[in-house]
Amino acid sequence: MFSQKQMHDLFEKTFEQMLLSQWITHFVFTDGKGWAIDWTEQGAENAICLKRIIETFRLTEDDRAPLAFDVSTKGGSFPNFSYTVPEEISIYWGDRVKELGYSGDGDGLLALAHIVKGWAP
């Protein structure tokens, strides 16, 4: 379980990775309002596609799910999780996660899943 500060820091780190990968052009957090994000065209497309994957495979229902899914896309297995992932989805997921440097990063993947589900255009 993460504290509110830990989640804020994790989200901020993920937004910084998105900025470096040119998925977004700007992000800011305002007390009382939350996060505001300006997506690039490619970043918006990535987020929309990832949101479909995240919702289809219910990757925000368990904190371990994004990492378990990532492992499954590489042909591995993860205790208490079973995903059957079509090859094209595995490739797409892997490419996007690699762009952000989050392959195998459970915390980063968790933040990515929640950010995309909550703020994708």
Give tens-digit pLDDT for 1-24: 788 899 999 999 999 999 999 999
Burial code (b: 16+ CB inside 10 Å, e: under 16) for 11-44 equals beebbebbbebebbeebeeeeeeeeebebbeebb
**Is pLDDT of 43 > 90?**
yes
pTM: 0.93
What pLDDT, on the 0 to 100 scale, is given for residue 2?
A: 80
* Tokens, residue 49: 């596609």
